[in-house]
Structure 1
Amino acid sequence: MYVAVKGGERAIANAHALLAKQGRGDVGLARIERAAVAGQLGVLVSRVMTEGSLYDPELAARAILQAQGDVLEAVTLVRSYRTTLPRFGYTLPVNTAGLPPQRRVSAAFKDLPGGQQLGATFDYTHRLFTDRDTGGPRIDPGAGPGAGPAASPGLETPRVADLLGAGALIEPDHVPGADDSEPADLTREPPVFPMSRAGRLQALARADEGFLLALGYSTQRGFGSTHPFAGEIRVGEVEVEFEAPELGFAVPLGRVEVTECQMINQFQGDTDTPARFTRGYGLAFGRGERKAMSMSLVDRSLRAGEFGERVVAPAQDEEFVISHSDNVQATGFVEHLKLPHYVDFQAELGLVRRLQAEFRERTLTEASA
């Protein structure tokens, strides 16, 4: 259908060689190693792992280097590699209720049982360049209350949502008798609308962070009916377990770092149900607070139908959000425009010329009449 690009395979090989040369940069400087990316660009690595649906910091670092820092290209590499891996089964749901926080903050309560844990955060840094590449002043992590790397092992840190739930002040996390069917696996099956909340959360976890951020921001500006409070944001490691059929019990596979956000939203109630807050939920690999918060805002907006709310904003439209949130799909569709479309364009060009000729002929006929 398309006219071949002059040079063919040789031109493509030369383009690849030029790309590698530009990506290497100044050969007088040391090459960036994967360990440096994984260890020093943790937030970027977390995003690539989350949107790539694969927890492997070293592999994500390798993808970032190969993609020369292009996040979407790195996500595509991770997803492509993921499809080559064998599937042995599914792990058990992780228990985030017992997530030992390296960082734990709440905007809803000042005095939390177990205390606020600031951990590592940009929230209080000055947005200025420093004379070092550390991103800020060197401070002893143990200096000051709540600054340590993790909560004390013996200190209980119950979730804010559970505290509210004990007083029936927030909707239950799970309603007995609700849809308990096994959630679909979006990495193997395409989404079918309407989706279950579990399916939507899968899609939102893989969704582009910038897209979710924009949608979450839109809900704060009136394009949606949510009124959120950051109930709790936790960063820490959870244990992942796999139940082997031949053993009959769960086997720990290891621990992964995650960021969880429980968003408390405006209350609902009617003649049959007392007033209580509603929930939005977000979970991301590694350190991904912005992603988890944006995800929780959009999750709550997409639940409009559950609460009888009018769907009037983009963030409340399930098909719009899910169909346009996947950055790999979006990138492929947009960037395919760079490929040859010679025949299509020539057809359109011929049509425009024909229409212009008919227009000129009609204009001359009308002028001479």
Structure 2
Amino acid sequence: MYVAVKGGERAIANAHAWLNEERRGDPAVPQMSVAQIREQMALAVNRVMAEGSLYDPDLAALAIRQARGDLIEAVFLIRAYRTTLPRLGTSVPVRTGAMAVDRRISATFKDLPGGQVLGPTFDYTHRLLDFADAAAMDPAPAGDPGPDADPGSPAGPHPDPMPHVTQILDRDGLIERVAPDDTPAPDLTREPLELPASRALRLQALARGDEGFLLSLAYSTQRGYGRTHAFVGELRIGRVPVQMEIPELGFAIQIGEIELTECETVNQFKGSRLEPAQFTRGYGLVLGQSERKAIAVSLVDRALRWQELAEDDTGAPAQDAEFVLSHCDNIQATGFLEHIKLPHYVDFQAELELVRRLRTEAETALQEAAE
């Protein structure tokens, strides 16, 4: 904010008042509640939570309403609020293998231990506008599942834990094994990004990066800009318990649960003189239900591992860690982009004076040459 500009204070106050009116919309239309946004716009809520680095569906829904549906502005609101919260402790790593899954699919094996669980997905819809949905605004009576309900479909998450699909390949030594790393990862929400970044830090930055930016980068790797030809080894969505170690007790207790989307891709690797031919992994883990982003993160993660796997640098953007990590954060990008609409009167006057002087010098030189 340019506090030196005093004459615009009244105009700014009026702009805020007008914004409040526009946010409310037509008073004759019922106002959308936070609960409605949370329950009926869950995917938008999940994106705001993921990119805002704060798991709280109610706050994310409130931010979306306050931002008039601008998700990046909502992410900004969530991150700003997050900075005011004290940190009471650190949870232990979650075990996604024990996830109570709502959706779990694999593009590599048809028959899986636990089976394929399609879950709630747009994948098999016809992508046609449902005008009947707009017309049927009256909710079904309590206890009535409605005419479109499938009485044979299972309700709730899959009750039994499901092993990861890559364990099938790992059992036969066909996929790289990831050595456990107990080194604490830096906290990107409290410490600035430093390069070169470890894989743990890269995954953290990608998990809260802008979905659209990561989608474009992932798409570029599929088109040849990054040497990544991936299969979705497994995509799972569900809830996992969150535990925290209590020093006074000497053991960890469950403090809640969160919804996560996890994607592990299987990628080709021809091997080297030191490593036999095997598959390699790409990994993505995102707060909430956000499978498009989780897949994108896993593709970009694999592309960024080219040095670790002794592959050639093709010059693809997705292989450039500095480019990817420095530009994937939508709040930093928004701040830098939108600051140019704020007053730059002094800077522009200096540029204007320079252009006038250069034009005058050029005209003088032309006149002298003509003489």
Normalised-by-shorter TM-score class: over 0.9
Give deviations 1:117-175, integer Å, cap 9, x for gaps. 0110000111111123389996435536xx65432x24x52211112111111111x31
* Residues 117 and 148 in structure 1, CA contact (< 8 A), matched pair in contact too: no
Q: 1:359 matched to which residue of 2?
A: 362
Give the unaligned 5+ runs of structure 2.
Answer: 137-145
For residues 135 and 220 of structure 1, what CA distance do their matches in structure 2 show? 41
Question: Residues 135 and 37 from structure 1, CA distance in 2 versus in 1: closer, same or farther, beyond 3 angstroms?
Answer: farther
Decide which of 126, 143, 157 is 2:152's aligned counterpart: 143
SS in 2 for 1:198: helix
Amino acid in the other structure paired with 1:40: Q
Q: Contact between 1:227 and 1:265, CA under 8 Å: does it hold in 2? A: yes
Secondary structure at the counterpart of residue 27 of structure 1: coil
Q: Pick from 325, 328, 333 the counterpart of residue 325 of structure 1.
A: 328
Instruction: Provide the secondary structure at the position in 1 that maps to 2:131.
Output: coil
Distance 1:138 1:9, change over 3 A: farther
Q: Which is further off, 265-274 or 2-11?
A: 2-11
What is the root-mean-square deviation in Å for CA atoms of aligned residues?
2.0
Map of 1:74-93 to 2, 5 A cutoff? 74-93=74-93
How far 1:2 sits from its partner (Å)?
7.2
Work out whether 1:316 is the aligned partner of 2:325.
no
Q: Secondary structure at the match of 2:193?
A: coil
Q: What is the total number of aligned residue pairs between the two structures?
A: 361
| Contact persistence 1:282–1:292 (CA under 8 A) | yes
More deviation, 134-143/318-327: 134-143
Deviation at 1:246, TM superposition (A): 2.1
SS at match of 2:279: strand
Asked if structure 2 preserves the Cα contact closer than 8 Å seen for 1:258 and 1:286, the reply is: yes
Q: How does 1:25-104 map to 2 (within 5 A)?
A: 25-104=25-104
Matched residue SS, 2:239: strand
Contact 1:235–1:287 at 8 Å: present in 2 too? yes
Partner of 2:139: none
Q: State the TM-score, normalized to the length of structure 1.
A: 0.93
Question: Structure 2: which amino acid aligns with 1:57?
Answer: P
Q: Is this contact kept in 2: 1:53–1:206, CA < 8 A?
A: yes
Structure 1 residues 142 and 304, CA, compared in 2 at 3 Å: closer, same or farther? farther
2:307 match: secondary structure? helix
2:169 aligned partner: 164
Identical columns (%) = 58
Partner of 2:113: 113
TM-score, normalisation: structure 2? 0.93
Q: Is the 8 A contact 1:2 1:342 kept in 2?
A: no
State how far apart, in whole Å, the 2-side matches of 1:157 and 1:180 are: 24
Cα distance, 1:113 vs. partner?
1.4
Aligned twin of 2:193: 191
Q: CA deviation at 1:4?
A: 5.7
* TM-aligned CA distance change 1:31 to 1:301, over 3 Å: same
- 1:61 corresponds to which letter in structure 2? A
Q: Decide which of 167, 175, 182 is 2:179's aligned counterpart.
A: 175
Aligned mates of 2:201, 2:55 — CA distance in 1: 19
CA distance in 1, matches of 2:94, 2:156: 22
Shift of 1:283: 1.0
> Displacement of 1:310 after TM fit?
2.1
Task: State yes or no: 1:347 paired with 2:350.
Answer: yes
Q: Which runs of 5+ in 1 are unaligned?
A: none
Structure 1: distance between partners of 2:39 and 2:352: 53
Tell me which residue corresponds to 1:24.
Answer: 24
Cross-structure match for 2:340: 337
Please tell me whether the aligned partners of residues 119 and 148 of structure 1 are also in contact (alpha carbons under 8 angstroms).
Answer: no
